[in-house]
Chain A
Amino acid sequence: MRFNHILTPAIFLLLAAGLLIISYWFEDSYLWLSFSLVFLTILFFLVRFEGRTIEPKELVLLAVLAAIAAVGRIPFASIPSVQPTTFVIMIAGLVFGAESGFVIGAVAALASNMIMGQGPWTPWQMVSWGLVGMTAGAMKNTPIMNTKLGRLGFGIVWGFLFGWIMNIWGFLGFVQSGGPIDLKAFLVYIGASTLFDTMHAVSNVVFLLLFGDIWIKILTRFKRKYGLLE
């Protein structure tokens, strides 16, 4: 068990390093390699998740949170970038920790896309939302996540960061190197999505302002009441 704890990250790190070396040789396949890296990241977390023995209670709790996050996307589907999903994943990660946060984010993305349609964007959304949950969980003991202002800042940063991560695959698909893969083109590309990213950030702030405290309270009460995912 302890052996696995060191071995799995080591294997995945080696694989990731191998991918980077390959990308040095094959300069014209960034899109392909970035997809592999994203898959590797997801797989790493899934393997870790499989390695833990999880109580049914915890499993169902994770599913409820992921389902609420996924359901939240559907009524907002017509307004681009505005959805409570990021908010729900952030709060869930904050209360239940980094690893649960990643799993909730990834599952919410995968499950909601099973309803709204899968596409090449699915793995990227899984990683982006997974990272939202993970960072929120990792920073749960820092002053940032324990003050309202800090949480708002976190929501704004992720509103943009989420868009930028999603831009990477769009951008790589768009140029695939050989073409203009310079900073200028990338900045122009990112600039084009600023409006949507701002809407995402603003919606995060609105949800956090109105419902942040009460949701944290509800989830924390549950965690204590049933001794879940301590």
Chain B
Amino acid sequence: MAKRERRVGYGWPVLLAIGVHIAALMLTIIKWPESEPDPTSSSVVQATLVRAETATDQPQQTEDSAPPASQPEEEGAQEPEESAPAESSEEPAPDSDAEVTDSAVEEAKAEAQRLQEEAQRAAEQRAKAEKRRQAEAEAEKKRQAEAEAERKRQAEAEAKKKRQAEAAAEKKRQAEAEAEAERKRQAEAEAERKRQAEAEAEKKRQAEAERKRQQELAERAAQANNSSLDSMISDEEQSIANAKQANEAANGFKNLVRRYVEQSWNVPSNASSELRAIVRIQLLPTGELVSATITQSSGNSAFDHSVISAVEKAAPFREMRELDASVKGRFREFNLDFNPEDIR
């Protein structure tokens, strides 16, 4: 035993260590039960129907009126019970004074008789009172029952009245609905008539258009013979127009750059309208700014500086990418002149 205590083996520790790791792994693997997310409904307003109420509130009314009707009955039943314990009587204690003298004995006898009589009377009275009370209770009960019946009758009468009113309203509504339907039907019939008329007019118009088109076709076929020369001329014109367009695009790009720069230009407040700076802008084909330098200074270094920083702020000019290759070449490097009057 002493030996076992001395050397601590590694068997148990290994098992314990592996157990610890498996437990840790389980903790990561086990999915804790999550609360299910609410099913997202497609409707914007999330509402659940609690009770489908009937169109008429009649059944509900009768339901509501039922509970109070049964309440007074219970109360009436409880009342006699409550009064019952109150009649516990205190017995008159007989006088136990025993005197040796006869008179005393007689007196005692008389006294006892009197007491007895009194007790009897009291008992009678009590019985009477009891009877009266019972009668009262019964009367009360009856009255309550009557009142109950009365109330019920009234409720029923009311319900009936309501039902009748309801029915009348219903009839009225139906009549109205019918009238409405009638009116609608008439309106529809009229609309139908109108539509037919329109369709006819449409047909007429189409026939006319068809005739015209055929005429035109015939005319064009006649012209087609002498148009081959014209087409050559028009080709020429088109190429000229293309060149013009490219030119315009180039000008447009320059204007665009100018507008961008002016948008981000903080003109110094002291700049007078006579100042004028020319900036040389170098761009990459992608529109990135390579450099912007002042080629002709305005003489006001703050003004020059503001122009340069405006150009830098406005860069890059992405529209450069959309230009034609031939036009792009022109804008790798170009000059822009700035004048505070341009934006004032």
State whether these chains interact: no
Q: B: which residues have CB within 8 A of A?
A: none
Q: A: which residues have CB within 8 A of B?
A: none
